[in-house]
Amino acid sequence: MTTIVVAMGANQGIGFDNQLLWHLPNDLKHFKEITSGHPIIMGRKTFESIGKPLPNRTNIVISRRKDWFQEGILIVGSIKEALKFAKKIDEEIFIIGGGKVYEQTFEFCDRLEVTAVNAELEADTFFPKIDPKIWTKTDESCHEPDERHAFGYCFQTYERVEKSEA
Ligand SMILES: NC(=O)c1ccc[n+]([C@@H]2O[C@H](COP(=O)([O-])OP(=O)(O)OC[C@H]3O[C@@H](n4cnc5c(N)ncnc54)[C@H](OP(=O)(O)O)[C@@H]3O)[C@@H](O)[C@H]2O)c1
């Protein structure tokens, strides 16, 4: 199973200036719970935005740069190569961004773990539109803003609708 994990605002914004748009501790906790123990695939810019390998997960980072090296991560030159390595490690693979990598994996991934943030903030990176003809929401839990969370948010799971034989 290949799962995309993403937090997006009401305008599908996911980032600005290579940073996230919000600080939501419960979303970070949720992300950690979902991905721990499994390989995670990300673009080089997302890795640089995080700044270090995420623990207890094989960090697979995609880059075309030949001269780029960082401790503690597996660097690959294509999406295909990233998937090949990840599938050798585990059946459950998580794609964690950013925009460029989502764009190239959205077409074939099996599941989406979305944090829908109830905010419309300025963004320069966006997630593709989730077409209800292709995706069905199978789970949702929503949370109001509180002293640690400036915005309300919903954790949502989407599964790809089975293609009909017709
Ligand atoms: N809200 C969320 O859930 C979430 C999650 C993750 C990231 N983000 C945000 O998204 C933004 C970053 O996204 P982004 O689109 O700018 O960058 P990105 O997708 O993280 O990384 C893009 C880089 O990945 C490499 N790459 C991508 N596709 C490739 C391919 N097919 N073959 C080889 N290399 C490939 C290239 O690296 P080289 O340039 O090194 O060749 C490319 O410049 C940030 O603002 C970040 O905070 C948000």
> Which of 32, 47, 64, 80 best tests ligand 1's pocket when mutated (most atoms within 8 Å of CB)?
64
- Count of CB atoms situated within 10 Å of the CB of 156: 18
What is the CB < 6 Å shell around ligand 1? 6-7, 14-15, 18-20, 42-46, 49, 62-65, 77-79, 96-101, 104, 125
CA of 122 to the centre of ligand 1 (A): 18
**pTM for the full predicted model:** 0.97
pLDDT of residue 98: 96
pLDDT average per 10 residues of sequence, the chain (166 residues): 98 97 98 98 98 98 95 98 98 98 97 98 97 96 98 98 61
Gap from CA of 12 to ligand 1 centroid (Å): 16
Interatomic CA distance for residues 111 and 136, integer angstroms: 10
CA of 165 to the centre of ligand 1 (A): 35
CA distance 88 to 108: 18
Q: Specify the residue with its C-alpha closest to ligand 1, atom 44.
A: 18
Interval between CA 147 and ligand 1 midpoint (Å): 31
Listing DSSP states for the chain in one string gives -EEEEEEE-TT-EEEBTTB-S---HHHHHHHHHHHTTS-EEEEHHHHHHH-SPPTTS-EEEE---SS---TT-EEESSHHHHHHHHHHH-S-EEE---HHHHHHHTTT-SEEEEEEES-----SEEPPP--TTTEEEEEEEEE--BTTBSS-EEEEEEEEPPPP--
Amino acid 127: pLDDT? 98
- Ligand 1 atom 22 nearest Cα: 43
Q: What separation in Å is there between the alpha carbon of 125 and the centre of ligand 1? A: 9
pLDDT given at position 149 = 98
Q: With b meaning 16 or more CB within 10 Å and e meaning fewer, what string describes 76-99?
A: beebeebbebbeeeeeebbbbbbb
Complete domains list, the chain, with CATH: 6-160 (3.40.430.10)
The pLDDT of residue 163 is 59
